[in-house]
Amino acid sequence: NAGVTQTPKFQVLKTGQSMTLQCAQDMNHEYMSWYRQDPGMGLRLIHYSVGAGITDQGEVPNGYNVSRSTTEDFPLRLLSAAPSQTSVYFCASSPPGQGAEAFFGQGTRLTVV
Amino acid sequence: GNSVTQMEGPVTLSEEAFLTINCTYTATGYPSLFWYVQYPGEGLQLLLKATKADDKGSNKGFEATYRKETTSFHLEKGSVQVSDSAVYFCALRMNYGGSQGNLIFGKGTKLSVKP
Protein backbone atom coordinates (compact mmCIF):
# COMPACT_ATOMS: atom_id res chain seq x y z
CA ASN A 1 0.00 0.00 0.00
CA ALA A 2 2.36 2.72 -1.25
CA GLY A 3 0.04 5.77 -1.14
CA VAL A 4 1.98 8.92 -2.06
CA THR A 5 5.68 8.45 -2.73
CA GLN A 6 8.13 11.33 -2.90
CA THR A 7 11.74 11.17 -3.99
CA PRO A 8 14.34 12.11 -3.00
CA LYS A 9 13.98 12.47 0.79
CA PHE A 10 16.93 14.83 1.08
CA GLN A 11 18.71 17.01 -1.47
CA VAL A 12 21.38 19.70 -1.41
CA LEU A 13 21.63 22.01 -4.41
CA LYS A 14 23.89 24.84 -5.35
CA THR A 15 22.37 28.18 -6.25
CA GLY A 16 21.36 28.19 -9.90
CA GLN A 17 21.06 24.43 -10.27
CA SER A 18 17.83 22.86 -11.44
CA MET A 19 16.18 19.67 -10.26
CA THR A 20 12.92 17.76 -10.22
CA LEU A 21 11.14 16.51 -7.13
CA GLN A 22 9.18 13.40 -7.94
CA CYS A 23 5.71 12.55 -6.64
CA ALA A 24 3.69 9.46 -7.48
CA GLN A 25 0.41 8.14 -6.11
CA ASP A 26 -1.22 4.78 -6.67
CA MET A 27 -4.75 5.60 -5.47
CA ASN A 28 -6.06 6.96 -8.79
CA HIS A 29 -6.74 10.37 -7.22
CA GLU A 30 -7.55 13.19 -9.59
CA TYR A 31 -6.42 15.97 -7.27
CA MET A 32 -2.72 16.47 -6.54
CA SER A 33 -0.84 19.37 -5.02
CA TRP A 34 2.57 20.56 -3.86
CA TYR A 35 3.16 22.46 -0.63
CA ARG A 36 6.23 23.90 1.01
CA GLN A 37 6.63 23.98 4.77
CA ASP A 38 8.70 26.68 6.42
CA PRO A 39 9.09 27.41 10.14
CA GLY A 40 6.28 29.61 11.43
CA MET A 41 4.58 29.66 8.03
CA GLY A 42 2.60 26.45 8.00
CA LEU A 43 2.07 24.84 4.62
CA ARG A 44 1.80 27.03 1.55
CA LEU A 45 0.44 25.81 -1.77
CA ILE A 46 2.84 25.98 -4.71
CA HIS A 47 0.93 24.34 -7.59
CA TYR A 48 -1.97 21.97 -7.92
CA SER A 49 -3.67 19.78 -10.51
CA VAL A 50 -7.28 18.66 -10.81
CA GLY A 51 -6.48 15.97 -13.37
CA ALA A 52 -4.08 14.84 -16.07
CA GLY A 53 -3.19 17.72 -18.36
CA ILE A 54 -4.54 20.39 -15.99
CA THR A 55 -2.36 22.42 -13.62
CA ASP A 56 -2.68 25.77 -11.89
CA GLN A 57 -0.75 28.06 -9.60
CA GLY A 58 -1.14 28.25 -5.87
CA GLU A 59 -0.02 30.85 -3.37
CA VAL A 60 3.75 30.71 -3.99
CA PRO A 61 4.40 29.47 -7.56
CA ASN A 62 7.40 31.62 -8.55
CA GLY A 63 10.52 29.62 -9.36
CA TYR A 64 8.63 26.34 -9.73
CA ASN A 65 7.11 24.48 -12.66
CA VAL A 66 4.81 21.46 -12.79
CA SER A 67 3.24 19.14 -15.33
CA ARG A 68 0.68 16.34 -15.08
CA SER A 69 0.94 13.94 -18.00
CA THR A 70 -0.54 11.00 -16.09
CA THR A 71 -2.94 10.60 -13.18
CA GLU A 72 -0.20 8.99 -11.10
CA ASP A 73 2.68 11.46 -11.40
CA PHE A 74 3.03 15.13 -10.51
CA PRO A 75 6.68 16.27 -10.60
CA LEU A 76 7.81 19.65 -9.30
CA ARG A 77 10.67 21.36 -11.10
CA LEU A 78 12.96 23.99 -9.63
CA LEU A 79 14.17 25.97 -12.59
CA SER A 80 17.12 27.81 -11.00
CA ALA A 81 17.45 27.08 -7.30
CA ALA A 82 17.76 29.96 -4.83
CA PRO A 83 18.50 29.89 -1.08
CA SER A 84 14.92 31.11 -0.49
CA GLN A 85 13.74 27.75 -1.80
CA THR A 86 15.35 25.93 1.11
CA SER A 87 12.34 24.19 2.62
CA VAL A 88 10.53 20.92 3.16
CA TYR A 89 8.29 20.02 0.23
CA PHE A 90 5.19 17.87 0.49
CA CYS A 91 3.11 16.33 -2.24
CA ALA A 92 -0.52 15.42 -1.56
CA SER A 93 -3.37 13.71 -3.37
CA SER A 94 -7.12 13.63 -2.74
CA PRO A 95 -10.10 11.68 -3.94
CA PRO A 96 -13.29 13.56 -4.87
CA GLY A 97 -15.44 15.23 -2.20
CA GLN A 98 -15.21 18.36 -0.09
CA GLY A 99 -14.71 16.33 3.06
CA ALA A 100 -12.28 13.86 1.54
CA GLU A 101 -8.96 13.20 3.23
CA ALA A 102 -5.75 14.41 1.59
CA PHE A 103 -2.89 11.91 1.62
CA PHE A 104 0.63 13.28 2.01
CA GLY A 105 4.02 11.99 1.03
CA GLN A 106 6.89 11.80 3.50
CA GLY A 107 8.40 15.04 2.27
CA THR A 108 11.61 16.18 0.59
CA ARG A 109 14.01 18.29 2.62
CA LEU A 110 15.79 20.62 0.20
CA THR A 111 18.75 22.82 1.06
CA VAL A 112 20.04 25.37 -1.43
CA VAL A 113 23.52 26.68 -0.71
CA GLY B 1 -10.18 35.42 1.43
CA ASN B 2 -10.46 32.13 3.25
CA SER B 3 -8.04 31.59 6.11
CA VAL B 4 -7.29 29.58 9.24
CA THR B 5 -5.86 30.93 12.49
CA GLN B 6 -4.61 28.62 15.20
CA MET B 7 -2.90 29.23 18.47
CA GLU B 8 0.84 29.70 18.26
CA GLY B 9 3.05 27.24 20.00
CA PRO B 10 5.01 25.64 21.26
CA VAL B 11 2.78 24.03 23.86
CA THR B 12 4.42 21.96 26.58
CA LEU B 13 2.29 19.74 28.82
CA SER B 14 2.85 17.01 31.35
CA GLU B 15 1.54 13.54 30.63
CA GLU B 16 -2.18 13.14 31.43
CA ALA B 17 -2.82 16.89 31.19
CA PHE B 18 -5.79 18.31 29.28
CA LEU B 19 -5.07 19.70 25.83
CA THR B 20 -6.82 22.45 23.91
CA ILE B 21 -5.51 23.90 20.66
CA ASN B 22 -7.65 26.75 19.39
CA CYS B 23 -8.55 27.09 15.72
CA THR B 24 -10.79 29.67 14.07
CA TYR B 25 -11.52 30.14 10.42
CA THR B 26 -12.73 32.74 7.96
CA ALA B 27 -14.61 31.48 4.94
CA THR B 28 -17.20 32.67 2.46
CA GLY B 29 -19.49 29.69 2.66
CA TYR B 30 -19.46 26.40 4.52
CA PRO B 31 -16.11 24.63 4.49
CA SER B 32 -15.10 21.20 5.65
CA LEU B 33 -12.70 21.37 8.58
CA PHE B 34 -9.74 19.14 9.36
CA TRP B 35 -7.04 18.52 11.91
CA TYR B 36 -3.83 17.02 10.58
CA VAL B 37 -0.92 15.77 12.68
CA GLN B 38 2.75 15.64 11.74
CA TYR B 39 5.03 13.40 13.78
CA PRO B 40 8.76 14.16 13.70
CA GLY B 41 10.32 13.44 10.34
CA GLU B 42 7.05 12.39 8.74
CA GLY B 43 4.40 13.78 6.43
CA LEU B 44 0.98 14.98 7.53
CA GLN B 45 -1.79 12.55 8.32
CA LEU B 46 -5.44 13.16 8.97
CA LEU B 47 -6.38 13.16 12.65
CA LEU B 48 -10.07 14.02 12.39
CA LYS B 49 -12.53 16.02 10.35
CA ALA B 50 -16.02 17.53 10.29
CA THR B 51 -17.98 18.42 7.20
CA LYS B 52 -20.94 20.43 8.54
CA ALA B 53 -21.96 22.59 11.47
CA ASP B 54 -22.28 20.84 14.84
CA ASP B 55 -20.46 17.75 13.58
CA LYS B 56 -17.92 16.33 16.02
CA GLY B 57 -14.83 14.66 14.66
CA SER B 58 -12.98 12.24 16.93
CA ASN B 59 -10.00 9.91 16.74
CA LYS B 60 -7.39 8.51 19.16
CA GLY B 61 -9.01 10.38 22.07
CA PHE B 62 -8.92 13.72 20.26
CA GLU B 63 -12.12 15.62 19.54
CA ALA B 64 -13.16 18.78 17.74
CA THR B 65 -16.62 20.24 17.12
CA TYR B 66 -17.52 22.37 14.10
CA ARG B 67 -19.00 25.57 15.55
CA LYS B 68 -20.49 27.75 12.84
CA GLU B 69 -21.61 30.49 15.26
CA THR B 70 -18.06 31.05 16.51
CA THR B 71 -16.32 29.85 13.29
CA SER B 72 -14.17 27.55 15.39
CA PHE B 73 -12.87 23.98 15.39
CA HIS B 74 -10.86 23.64 18.60
CA LEU B 75 -8.92 20.44 19.19
CA GLU B 76 -9.18 18.79 22.61
CA LYS B 77 -7.89 15.73 24.38
CA GLY B 78 -8.61 14.82 27.96
CA SER B 79 -5.32 13.13 28.82
CA VAL B 80 -2.28 13.54 26.59
CA GLN B 81 0.53 11.02 26.26
CA VAL B 82 4.18 11.41 25.38
CA SER B 83 3.36 9.78 22.03
CA ASP B 84 1.07 12.74 21.20
CA SER B 85 4.10 15.00 20.82
CA ALA B 86 3.81 16.34 17.27
CA VAL B 87 2.83 19.37 15.22
CA TYR B 88 -0.92 19.86 14.76
CA PHE B 89 -2.42 21.71 11.80
CA CYS B 90 -5.96 22.98 11.44
CA ALA B 91 -7.18 23.22 7.84
CA LEU B 92 -10.24 23.95 5.75
CA ARG B 93 -11.44 23.09 2.30
CA MET B 94 -14.28 24.91 0.58
CA ASN B 95 -15.34 22.63 -2.23
CA TYR B 96 -13.82 19.85 -4.26
CA GLY B 97 -12.51 20.97 -7.62
CA GLY B 98 -10.58 23.96 -8.94
CA SER B 99 -8.88 26.32 -6.56
CA GLN B 100 -11.69 25.82 -4.03
CA GLY B 101 -10.55 22.27 -3.55
CA ASN B 102 -7.23 23.20 -2.04
CA LEU B 103 -6.61 22.77 1.66
CA ILE B 104 -5.87 26.00 3.51
CA PHE B 105 -3.73 25.42 6.59
CA GLY B 106 -3.07 27.25 9.80
CA LYS B 107 0.56 27.75 10.80
CA GLY B 108 0.69 24.70 13.05
CA THR B 109 1.07 24.20 16.79
CA LYS B 110 3.94 22.17 18.16
CA LEU B 111 2.99 20.06 21.17
CA SER B 112 5.56 18.53 23.49
CA VAL B 113 4.39 16.17 26.22
CA LYS B 114 6.78 15.48 29.10
CA PRO B 115 6.68 12.25 31.16
Q: Which residues pair with residue A17 across a beta bridge?
A: none
pLDDT tens by residue, A37-66:
998 888 999 999 999 999 999 999 999 999
| A99 contacts B95? CB cut-off 8 A | no
Can you give the pLDDT at residue A95? 85
pLDDT digit string (tens) for B72-111?
999 999 999 999 999 999 999 986 556 667 889 999 999 9
Q: Do A43 and B93 touch (CB under 8 A)?
A: no
Min distance A41 CA to chain B CA atoms (Å): 5
| pLDDT tens per residue, range A26-39 | 999 999 999 999 98
Hey, is the C-beta of A40 within 8 angstroms of any chain B C-beta?
Answer: yes
> Nearest chain A Cα to B35, which residue?
A101
Q: What is the pLDDT of residue B38?
A: 95
Do the chains contact at A90 and B44, CB–CB below 8 Å?
yes
Separation of alpha carbons B27 and B94, rounded Å:
8
Percent of chain A with pLDDT over 90: 87
Mean pLDDT computed over A2-17:
95
* Percent over 70 (pLDDT), chain B: 95
